[in-house]
Amino acid sequence: MNKQTSPLKFLRLAVVSALALGLTACAPGSQAPDTAPTAAPVTSIDPASAGEVTLRLTDFWGANEGEWIESMVAQFEAKYPNIHIERTQEDWGQLTSTLNLQISEEAGPDIATANNGWQSLGTLAKGNLVLNLDQYAAAFGWDKLIPSTIARQNEFSTDFTKIGEGSLFGTPIARVQPIGIYYNIEKLTKLNVAPPATFAEFEAAAKKAKDAGEIPINYGSQDSPTAALLALQAVFGTAGSINDYVYGNPAVTAEQTGLTKAAETVQRWNEAGWFTPDHAGIDYQTAVANFVDGKGIFRFEYQGSLGLSVEQQSKFGYIQMRNENGGTVGVGASPAALVIATKCKNPDVAAAFLDFLMSQPAAQTAVDNGLIPLLHSDVTTPANMPLLKQEIEQIATIGESDGYVPYFDWASPGMLDVLVQQMQLMYGGRATPAELSTAVDVERNAFLAESAS
């Protein structure tokens, strides 16, 4: 061998140094500051005098939700001809799983829809990828506009150990999407049963349906069994206990939020054969399609998710079941948290757009598109939409009791997986309702311990 560097040696050296470089690279993410910097106070915001501004908006709204946001963009651009909003639509799963990456890109969105809770909004806030909106809340009067139960859903402490208090990192929109119960009007009438309002009435109706040979509750537990469980939790638990649990009060256990009782109930229904047979092999899409086709009398569902045509809407009714302790508690939130990217060059204009999405015209546009308004009650419902009218009336009872509770899976990033897995284990006879609650506590407490450390 000669002593001069041979190409092979050179190669080996290059590879080794590349490897070494990769290994010794500094700890990932270490550049990010521990706390988000607070921006200078905002004095006055007038989008009309902001000059030519283009904002990129990315959201996960399709169907009539998509029509709502398109209409809102058009209205905002008409109001301020100097502002242009370029909208990109992505599907929900795609956007929530990649938003963390997209929003740090130079060409990424200025405004985006984030999923509430730690999984998405919490991570974005903690990573300093989205703006702390406190100054805008003061400037636009959002603190007065947004009820505290809704505002909490977008709040994190600035040391990012707590959710549900502290600074505002996202805004709701003038729409809400709670979990409720849909029923097949024709079938219920045939059974000679009035739409149930309480849990006892609901069970009586379901029993009558079973005796008549109907499927009482349309269900599919293969990929999304949780709506029924969370709806029942809102029947048995109090709004205070569920809020406290999700927002990380370690003194409250899942059992105290009504979760165990809700799990016992769905298990009892499962054993009594009140759910669609073989629901373990039925996925969400199939279950919804079956229900719309007339299979099953009741279905626990996120409001507006059945995708009903105008003609189909006359065939279904909507119930917001009363809470066993009085009033109405509803699992519900604005269908997204709107965030402003830290790298957005015109945050004031972006904030003005968020403000517009919470305005009275936004609520009215929601109703016009068959969606449920939030933040404003002075809206007119089109006369030809009986289901929407009923939904608005039923859902209003939540607001009257100040009974909004956040989606339970906001408690920790892995909570939704735990709930789905535990429910499937329970239906498979491999876990008890009490074990489900324990697993939920373990998941949340592990997360609380982790974020406190």
Partner 1 sequence: MRRSRWMGLAMVLVPLLFYAVFMLAPICQSFSYSFYKWDGHSAATWVGLDNYLSFVTDPVLASTLSHVLVLIGFFALLPIVLGLASAALITRRALPGMALFRFIYFLPQVLTSVVVALVFKRLYGPEGPINESLRAVGLGSWTKAWLGDFDWALPALGLIGTWVTFGFCMVLFISGVSSIPTELYEAARVDGAGPLREFFAVTLPGLRSQLAVALTLTITGALRTFDLVWVTTRGGPGTSTLTPAIALYRAAFENPQVGQAAAIGIVMALLCLLIAVAIGRIAERE
User: Residues interacting with partner 1, by CB under 8 A?
Assistant: 4, 6-7, 10-11, 14-15, 18-19, 21-23, 25, 27-30, 32, 34, 97-98, 100-101, 104, 119, 123-124, 126-129, 160, 221-223, 277-283, 286, 413-414, 417, 420-422, 424-425, 427-428, 430
Q: How far is the CB of 32 from partner 1 (least distance, A)?
A: 5
Kindly tell me which of 18 and 272 has the beta carbon lying closer to partner 1: 18
The H-or-E segment that residue 395 falls in is helix 386-400
Kindly tell me which of 380 and 453 has the beta carbon lying closer to partner 1: 453
Whether 398 and 178 have beta carbons less than 8 Å apart is answered as: yes
Q: How far is the CB of 26 from partner 1 (least distance, A)?
A: 9
Kindly tell me which of 94 and 198 has the beta carbon lying closer to partner 1: 94
Q: How far is the CB of 299 from partner 1 (least distance, A)?
A: 17
Kindly tell me which of 34 and 91 has the beta carbon lying closer to partner 1: 34
Nearest to 339 by CA among 33, 41, 55: 55
The H-or-E segment that residue 299 falls in is strand 298-302
Residue where the block lists tokens 């409001």 = 303
Q: How far is the CB of 147 from partner 1 (least distance, A)?
A: 29
Q: Long-range contacts: 67-70, Cβ < 8 Å, 24+?
A: 67/369, 68/175, 68/365, 68/366, 68/369, 68/371
Specify whether the backbone of 128 is left (phi greater than 0), alpha (psi in -120 to 50) or beta: left
Q: How far is the CB of 335 from partner 1 (least distance, A)?
A: 19
In whole angstroms, give the CA distance from residue 120 to residue 188: 40
Q: How far is the CB of 282 from partner 1 (least distance, A)?
A: 6
Kindly tell me which of 100 and 360 has the beta carbon lying closer to partner 1: 100
DSSP letters for 106-169: TTS-SEEEE-SSIIIIIHHHHTT-B---HHHHHHHTHHHHS-HHHHGGGEE-TTSS-BSSSEE-
Q: How far is the CB of 140 from partner 1 (least distance, A)?
A: 28
HSE of 75, CA atoms in CB hemisphere, 13 A: 18
Kindly tell me which of 279 and 322 has the beta carbon lying closer to partner 1: 279
In whole angstroms, give the CA distance from residue 324 to residue 427: 25
Kindly tell me which of 20 and 48 has the beta carbon lying closer to partner 1: 20
